[in-house]
Amino acid sequence: MGRLGYDAALALQDRCVKERRMGGLDRLLLLEHPHVITSGSGSDPAHVLLSAEALAARGIEHFETGRGGDVTYHGPGQLVGYPILDLKPDRKDLHAYLRALEGVLIRALAFWHLDGERLPKHTGVWVGGAKVAALGVRVSSGWITSHGFALNVNTDLSYFRTIVPCGIPDREVTSLTRLLGQEVSVEETGEVVADAFAAEFGYGQVVRRPGGP
């Protein structure tokens, strides 16, 4: 979908959730955001390391969100995925859903022969002990999902120094480009992730709609 402001993405998710609740299709929204920090429902304000004025000076917005998890950064060069799914009747397990999203990203990383892994007690996907993808989801009434995951593709990782990423102070953050030693595009990564998502969740066919749902 290209680059979309965080407030616009929230409004889009809200519309898609309402449509799904009324019998619409499951969707996976794939996009980039401008520089933005988001704080989840369980976040510690101290994990945002710059003042509001300092963030604004660097062109970084800050949003409190309704998703789970702590604080994270989104920005150019990062693939953000927002699955809008109805988990009824047989997927009504939040922990299983999180593990499935991690499974999507582990499948995608395997395309580049990277061994993605889960770490005990830490949601997300890691390679060599460094975090390459973060998760933060919301499940609304009726078991409809929103929010989702963020995979660092060719992200400027210096922006993560403005926060304590996901509230974990002693773990490095990495990207596909750093891991591979070569540039990887967000567009290519989106294609790989879409196919991995279809495989993980058992969708027989994915209908791609560039530019919007």
Domain parsing of the chain, residue ranges: 6-201
Tell whether the model's pLDDT for residue 119 goes beyond 70.
yes
Structural tokens at position 72: 């994270």
Helix (H) or strand (E) holding 104: helix 94-111
State the DSSP code for 45: G
Looking up tokens 């580049």 gives 112
Whole-angstrom CA distances from 26 to 21, 34, 88, 93, 131 are: 10, 26, 12, 17, 28
Residue 16 falls in the annotated catalytic set: no
**What dotted CATH number matches 6-201?**
3.30.930.10
Bridge-based pairing state of the strands 117-119 and 78-84 = unpaired
Over residues 188-206, mean pLDDT: 90
Q: Residue 179: pLDDT above 70?
A: yes
Distance of CA 209 to the CA centre of its chain: 19
Pick the closest to residue 173 from 150, 196, 190 (CA basis).
Answer: 150
Point out the catalytic residue in the list 166, 186, 192, 193: 166
Residue 156 predicted with pLDDT over 90: yes
Average pLDDT over residues 14-30: 96
Q: What would the two tokens of residue 132 be? A: 């390459």
Contact 144, 84 (CB under 8 A): yes
The mean pLDDT value for 37-61 works out to 93
Residue 212 pLDDT > 80: no
Is pTM, for the whole model, over 0.85?
yes
Query: Is the confidence at residue 213, as pLDDT, over 60?
Result: no
